[in-house]
Amino acid sequence: MKENIYNWQPLSVEEMYALFSNTSIDWFIAGGWALDLHVNKQTRNHSDIDICLYREDQNLLFQQLSKDWLFYKAQKGKLIHWAEGEFLQKTKDVWVRKDHHSPWAFQIMLIDMEKGDWVYGREPSIRRAKDDIYLHTSSGIPYLKPEIQLLYKGGSSQVREKDKTDFQMMLPYLTLEEKDWLRKALVRQFSNGHSWLRYLHH
């Protein structure tokens, strides 16, 4: 069965917060919404909603949410139903919906940790303490720090138009420390240079 990847009816940020606040899972909003939460305004339309979870918490996710939601693992360009008891070692993305006929509601990025540090999958030498990769809004919603979210966007093999838009939108809001961290991370991942680097020099 070929899944319609464009059939989305994403939960709102508030609905995500309500859903995950009832769990014991460490989670935070990712993607374009994370950047919008940081600047405290919606800067563009979002066709989906992403969150990050630590890979080691996937069993908690299954135990606490699989009664009400179906999970699909993204593998080799396909979405395959994720069955209970299967530990996802390498899968990075999980898509979620209510039942087989429902639109997609949210997407989960599984991120890796090693010895208490978050590890960036595309360049594992880039890492930070797990508690130093997210912030909270004034109402308590956790979200991925902007410099890390921009690394995920700029570090992709295919930087999309919306990623470039998000980067330019965020530039005036980034502190010198955030710019410096992002610059060093991009240099480490891309030894031949990256188009964003010229914007990140002091």
Tell me if 200 is assigned to some domain: no
Quote the pLDDT of residue 4: 82
Quote the pLDDT of residue 11: 97
Tell me if 190 is assigned to some domain: no
Q: Single out the residue of 170, 178, 175, 96 nearest to residue 132, CA to CA.
A: 178
Tell me if 21 is assigned to some domain: yes
pTM for the model: 0.94
Tell me if 152 is assigned to some domain: no
Tell me if 32 is assigned to some domain: yes
Tell me if 178 is assigned to some domain: no
Q: What is the mean pLDDT of the chain?
A: 95
Query: Which positions ≥6 away from 141 have C-beta within 8 Å?
Result: 13, 14, 17, 29, 37
Quote the pLDDT of residue 1: 46
Share of the chain above pLDDT 70, in %: 98
Number of domains present in the structure of the chain: 1
Q: How far apart are CA 108 and CA 57, in angstroms?
A: 12
CATH of the domain at 122: 3.30.460.40
pLDDT, tens digit (0-9, with 9 covering 90-100), for 69-116: 999 999 988 999 999 889 999 999 999 999 989 999 999 999 999 999
Q: Single out the residue of 87, 72, 92 nearest to residue 152, CA to CA.
A: 92
Domain that holds residue 44: 13-145
**Average pLDDT of the segment spanning 162-184:** 97
Quote the pLDDT of residue 202: 66
Tell me if 95 is assigned to some domain: yes
